[in-house]
Amino acid sequence: MTVQEISRVVDGKRVIVKKPELLIPAGNLEKLKVAIHYGADAVYLGGQEFGLRSNAGNFTLEDMAEGVEFAKKYGAKIYVTTNIFAHNENMDGLEEYLKGIEKAGVTGIIVADPLIIETCKRVAPSVEVHLSTQQSLSNWKAAQYWKEEGLHRLVLAREASYEEMKEIKEKVDIEIEAFVHGAMCIAYSGRCTLSNHMTARDSNRGGCCQSCRWDYDLVQTVSQHKDAKELPLFQEEDAHFAMSPKDLNLILSIPKMIEIGIDSLKVEGRMKSIHYVATVATVYRKVIDAYCADPDNFEFKQEWLDELDKCANRDTAPAFFEGVPGHQEQMFGNHSKKTTYDFAGLVLDYNEETGIVTIEQRNHFKPGHEVEFFGPEIENFTQTVEKIWDEDGNELDAARHPLQIVKFKVDQPVYVNNMMRKNILQ
């Protein structure tokens, strides 16, 4: 792909004309709507069969159809993961399921198994076929092969480097999707059997229990005749380790990916909260739009990094993007990056005349707490909660109960589906 195909000069200023798709995960209909509302160009989701996230909410065919109708209103697309490695018993019902996906109106499916690729092309020809990252694609010859097999898009291995991505785009004319944010697997692009061995749940057929993220200790067995003892090799309390790398975070590398023509920037996390989905989508949307509007004068804002830190996640790193990662990108000790913010509520309504907002509570808050509102229609702002009322106008000393509907006065206008978070250090 040439520079001229990616950008052009308009009124003396270079702009990006090939803006990449922002692809956000959705574990259920609520998350799908939040993802699109907060800036996703496309959403990927799992059905109730043939996917790798059996513990996510997942979608019925009716849910998919509803999601497609919602997405169409915003010009967004829906992709469905059908990326198991199928065994013989998994073939039953496949054709009917793929026909149902086509009828629901989804744009494409994400597939790893050649059986499902062939079946989809045969029984649901209007559905785009995207190669899953489970196929570990990291070279242009393999990309050329899959193009000749008739695939529409290739999702690269998480282990693919920037230079490998660049060469693939230069040599093969096919859409390329790359992960930019979210969990990394200890195995090669998810080809793991730890879960199979430790819990009898097949990770490549939707049963991964993430046993790589459990806490492990190194011990030595000291045998004294019949009394064998296991003694820890380390005495420190924080010496636990996981067979797991830090999560992926390529927010600083988005400009480089745009300049080589990556077609879709993918965020991982179908089991994450709506607060996570909204926060990550918001930040990546801002970075993509700002860079594409004026790439030569683009400056990265610290506030974007600060915003990402407000949603709960593990420590992050660029993984394989700049080459083979070192030991610094492995998880040791505490696995979670501490955030000082909790998702406190979702805006259901706002009265312009009274300045009263109606909130669906998601975490405890009370008068005197400082809260922050954010959303695509507003600039983030903070304020102190004063009086709180229930739906009947009774004053409350706190919003205590999950999903409780409460009201209070805000200083600035807010909109339906804006979110409210609170600093927990208060």
Q: What confidence score (pLDDT) does residue 222 get?
A: 74
Residue 3 pLDDT > 70, yes or no? no
Q: What confidence score (pLDDT) does residue 247 get?
A: 86
Residue 329 pLDDT > 70, yes or no? no
281 and 419 together in one domain: no
Q: Is residue 17 part of a domain?
A: yes
173 and 111 together in one domain: yes
Q: What confidence score (pLDDT) does residue 196 get?
A: 76
Q: What confidence score (pLDDT) does residue 41 get?
A: 99
- Answer yes or no: are the C-beta atoms of 118 and 94 closer than 8 Å: no
Domain membership of residue 388 as a residue range: 341-423
* Distance between CA atoms of residues 104 and 273, nearest Å: 25
261 and 385 together in one domain: no
Q: What confidence score (pLDDT) does residue 164 get?
A: 96
Give the CATH number, domain containing residue 180.
3.20.20.70
Cβ-count burial 15-30 (b if 16+ within 10 Å, e if not): ebeebbbbbbbbbbbe
Q: Is residue 316 part of a domain?
A: yes
Among residues 270, 303, 337, the one where a domain terminates is: 337
119 and 63 together in one domain: yes
119 and 166 together in one domain: yes
Q: Is residue 63 part of a domain?
A: yes
14 and 113 together in one domain: yes
For helices 162-171 and 140-148, what crossing angle results, to 10°?
40
Give the CATH number, domain containing residue 353.
2.40.30.10
119 and 93 together in one domain: yes
Q: Is residue 195 part of a domain?
A: no
Percent of the chain with pLDDT over 90: 68
* Distance between CA atoms of residues 356 and 387, nearest Å: 11
Mean pLDDT of the region 157-163: 94
Q: Is residue 220 part of a domain?
A: no
Among residues 302, 337, 372, the one where a domain terminates is: 337
Q: Is residue 330 part of a domain?
A: yes
Q: Is residue 43 part of a domain?
A: yes
Mean pLDDT of the region 206-217: 72
Residue 88 banded pLDDT, cuts 50, 70, 90: confident
User: What is the per-residue pLDDT across 293-310, written as a single tens digit (0 to 9) for each?
Assistant: 999 999 999 999 999 999
282 and 384 together in one domain: no
Among residues 337, 369, 394, the one where a domain terminates is: 337
User: What is the per-residue pLDDT across 247-266, written as a single tens digit (0 to 9) for each?
Assistant: 899 999 999 999 999 999 99
Residue 51 pLDDT > 90, yes or no? no
13 and 81 together in one domain: yes
* Distance between CA atoms of residues 104 and 9, nearest Å: 40
75 and 159 together in one domain: yes
9 and 126 together in one domain: yes
User: What's the total number of domains in the chain?
Assistant: 2
| Amino acid, single-letter form, for residue 16 | I
Residue 185 banded pLDDT, cuts 50, 70, 90: confident
375 and 328 together in one domain: no
pTM: 0.89
Mean pLDDT of the region 168-191: 88
